[in-house]
Amino acid sequence: MQRSTPVDPTKMGTGRAIAVLTSGGDAQGMNAAVRATVRVGIYTGAKVYFVHEVCTSKHTHIRNKELKGGTVIGSARCQDFRSKEGRAKAACNLVKLGITNLCVIGGDGSLTGANEFRNEWSELLQILLKAGKITAEEAKRSSHLNIVGMVGSIDNDFCGTDMTIGTDSALHRIMEVVDAITTTAQSHQRAFILEVMGRHCGYLALVTALACGADWVFIPEMPPDEGWEDHLCRRLTYQRSIGNRLNVIIVAEGALDRHGKPITCDIIKNLVTKKLSFDTRATILGHVQRGGTPSAFDRILGSRMGVEAVMALLEATPDTPACVVSLSGNMAVRLPLMECVQVTKEVTKAMAEGRFEEAVKLRGKSFENNWNTYKLLAHVTAPDVKSNINIAILNVGAPCAGMNAAVRSAVRIGILQGHNMLAVHDGFDGLAHGTIEPMAWGYVGGWTGKGGSNLGTKRSLPASMIEEISLNIAKFNIHALVIIGGFEAFVGGLELVTAREKFEELCIPLVVIPATVSNNVPGSDFSIGADTALNTITTTCDRIKQSAAGTKRRVFIIETMGGYCGYLATMAGLAAGADAAYIYEDPFGIHDLETNVEHLLEKMKTTVKRGLILRNEKCNANYTTDFLFNLYSEEGKGVFDCRKNVLGHMQQGGTPTPFDRNFGTKMGAKAVLWLTDKLKECYRHGRIFANTPDSACVLGMKKRAMIFQPLFDLKEDTDFEHRIPKTEWWLKLRPILKILAKYKISLDTSETATMEHVIKKRGTV
């Protein structure tokens, strides 16, 4: 929403005081949220205080906390706060320090308690006045308390937000264990049962099941049907019969049957061992899921939420209800706190009353989409009636983690629709040379967790071999194409559509699924593979910073991939706490470099004697990585020394992150379901004929939803020379990077997030 009058962001907090506290269970990413709240609060001119395990103190230093798990200011479930006397004592502490803005990071219990505290604030002031603990002037000055919440919980059990702070990191811990278990289980032909946390929410279990291709998942929102024991045994037996050496069953800690009885690892283990005589092992993960360093996603999420929380506090009026800042798609939104709490309680009530379908819907669109995708992929028997449709899948461009997950999902959904699925090896070259073969259900078994491209991929574009491609489309009777890849996939798709005028064989529906570490495909805010690359860069930056911590007075200059797209450099800069990130989209000159050097010279006078500079590989043809290294080395003589690191192709490798596995799985499934509907539309006079613009689309994540956009419509928004979209949503996050690095810059506050209503929103998505 546009502001009527511009506001100077550096004066918004003048004369105001903000306290930030973490409460309840800890979660990775809380520190990033605390750091952002403190630094943005100070940037606005406000005084900022920590509440250390329910004790208030002025902030000291918060450097490099974004890379630590847990919460450095401590978290507790305070018993004193449950009594009015305890709350009056807390109110007195706040009044004495002039604090009227409270930022609470915690779960639904903590946020509900904070809201109750706000509601009885006036009453607490009267109690303190009568007791003579505060003066009338102090009471007047602190007449109103603003509260904004950020949800920090690995369970992702708070309705209204797609992801709570800590959830993604917990999934990283879980998938590390699942991947390790997978190797040992395959060696011995074992069935593994894994219990994950989540209290009464099945999100962690559900996404884990999707991300590892589990045979079965038990979640509290949707207990299994009566007779599930026999059904489970049939499915495990079938998996073994088609050659799978491994069975994986995921159990949420709050899983129940239809009668409300707990379903535990031991119950399932005894069942499988007794009925099937399978060698079975059970593992309960426990608190390892809360530990470790936060993922790149959680660091960025915490940072973004921290910024939004400060703005929400400073823009609040006495009539503004307490709100939570949350994530919807890739957008930061504000939601009324008690509406979210109400819906969260409705989920528990729906489960208790056996309204399980409603419970899944109440969890939100993200949870519902995950559940629907899991249900689709859980069926392992193909339909008896075949569609006689052949859908070919190819990977184009550079390889990236998550490509295989998208292929697996597309293949299996296609088979379940009755289609014949064809593998095209080596991109458009393979389509031209006829290296095409059928894929059965087992062909893609175990692909979800594998990095790179099992189909093989090349950067070649189809224009130079369009005739050969059209001949092979006819020869193999291909009715539709799924093209998974980066900018080459987008351009290649366009070339195929353009050639429809000359080659009738190309008049078939096609869909492009963005998959590239560069995240530069028009029509999508995110690409498969970018999250894995981002975590690789962030982890490397963490290690480099640790190295610099030992030597002191050292600045590291790190070059990232991405072509002309600065997504990786910017987001890694946010996640790793970089001092600067140079990218093509944000032009810079010698004066900017001078400012950055001076900033580092000043930083070396503080207790933190290290610096981190990120440079996108094609940000500037003249200001190369070597140039920056030489410049910083020369200007820092006697104060700091420099090292450089070109990360290179390690950013394309590795096993996919939970996000990329899940994202790839959902994209692959959605693409094939869309093609199935499009093929019905295009079936005329006994054959497929698709020549309309909407029969060739990019499937992308835009703001809050996965949508299909015609390739031709996206040409206007594409800079073909530099291989990037003309509009990139993440550029709005760059000022946050600079503010968190303590630069005195101007933050655009002309747009503010409006308060949305989760109850109305739930009915319309």
Question: Known binder of ligand: residue 562?
Answer: yes
Q: Which residues contact 401 (CB under 8 A, 6 or more apart)?
A: 451, 452, 528, 529, 532, 533, 652, 653, 654, 655, 656, 657, 660
Question: Known binder of ligand: residue 518?
Answer: yes
Question: Known binder of ligand: residue 520?
Answer: yes
155 is catalytic: yes
Sequence-ordered alpha helix ranges (H) in 82-227: 84-97, 108-119, 121-130, 136-141, 167-188, 203-212
Question: Known binder of ligand: residue 492?
Answer: no
Question: Known binder of ligand: residue 598?
Answer: no
Question: Known binder of ligand: residue 363?
Answer: no
Question: Known binder of ligand: residue 28?
Answer: no
Question: Known binder of ligand: residue 110?
Answer: yes
Question: DSSP assignment, residue 585?
Answer: S
Angle (nearest 5°) at CA 701 between 459 and 376: 95
49 contacts 96 by C-beta, under 8 angstroms: no
* Residue type present at position 39: R
Question: Known binder of ligand: residue 651?
Answer: yes
* Residue type present at position 642: C
Helices (H) and strands (E) in the chain, counts: 25, 28
Question: Known binder of ligand: residue 561?
Answer: yes
* Distance separating alpha carbons of residues 43 and 552, to the nearest angstrom: 27
- Beta bridge pairs of residue 439: 421
* Distance separating alpha carbons of residues 5 and 594, to the nearest angstrom: 33
Residue with tokens 């499915």, as numbered in its chain: 235
* Distance separating alpha carbons of residues 53 and 389, to the nearest angstrom: 62
Question: DSSP assignment, residue 655?
Answer: P
- Dmax (CA) for the chain in angstroms is 91
Question: Known binder of ligand: residue 604?
Answer: no
Question: Known binder of ligand: residue 77?
Answer: yes
Question: Known binder of ligand: residue 199?
Answer: yes
Question: Known binder of ligand: residue 155?
Answer: yes
Question: Known binder of ligand: residue 554?
Answer: yes
Question: Known binder of ligand: residue 459?
Answer: yes
Question: Known binder of ligand: residue 198?
Answer: yes
The C-alpha torsion from 110 through 116 and 117 to 122, rounded to 10°, is 170
Question: Known binder of ligand: residue 650?
Answer: yes
70 contacts 64 by C-beta, under 8 angstroms: no
* Residue type present at position 124: L
* Distance separating alpha carbons of residues 328 and 322, to the nearest angstrom: 18
Q: Which residues contact 487 (CB under 8 A, 6 or more apart)?
A: 397, 516, 518, 520, 521, 563, 723
52 contacts 74 by C-beta, under 8 angstroms: yes
* Distance separating alpha carbons of residues 72 and 374, to the nearest angstrom: 37
Which H or E run contains 91?
helix 84-97
Question: Known binder of ligand: residue 243?
Answer: no
Question: Known binder of ligand: residue 404?
Answer: no
Question: Known binder of ligand: residue 235?
Answer: no
**b/e map 227-265, b = 16+ CB within 10 Å:** ebeeebbebbeebeeeebebbbbbbbbbbbbeeeeebbb
Both tokens assigned to 649 = 């192709």
Both tokens assigned to 122 = 């006036």
Question: Known binder of ligand: residue 281?
Answer: yes
* Distance separating alpha carbons of residues 699 and 522, to the nearest angstrom: 10
Question: Known binder of ligand: residue 334?
Answer: no
* Distance separating alpha carbons of residues 371 and 368, to the nearest angstrom: 5
Question: Known binder of ligand: residue 315?
Answer: no
* Distance separating alpha carbons of residues 207 and 367, to the nearest angstrom: 9
User: Rounded to whole angstroms, what are the CA distances from 181 to 188, 238, 285, 314?
Assistant: 11, 21, 12, 48
Question: Known binder of ligand: residue 52?
Answer: no
Question: Known binder of ligand: residue 519?
Answer: yes
* Distance separating alpha carbons of residues 363 and 355, to the nearest angstrom: 13
Q: Which residues contact 266 (CB under 8 A, 6 or more apart)?
A: 282
Question: Known binder of ligand: residue 547?
Answer: no
Residue with tokens 């006045």, as numbered in its chain: 129
Residue with tokens 């209204």, as numbered in its chain: 160
Both tokens assigned to 693 = 């613009």
725 contacts 525 by C-beta, under 8 angstroms: no
Question: Known binder of ligand: residue 190?
Answer: yes
| Residue among 26, 155, 162, 429 flagged as catalytic | 155
Binding-site residue positions = 25, 77-78, 107-110, 153-155, 190, 197-199, 253, 281, 287-290, 459, 516-520, 554, 561-563, 617, 643, 649-652, 723
Binding-site residue positions for substrate = 153-155, 190, 197-199, 253, 281, 287-290
Binding-site residue positions for ATP = 25, 77-78, 107-110
Binding-site residue positions for beta-D-fructose 2,6-bisphosphate = 459, 516-520, 554, 561-563, 617, 643, 649-652, 723
**Residues catalogued as catalytic:** 155
Binding-site residue positions for Mg(2+) = 108
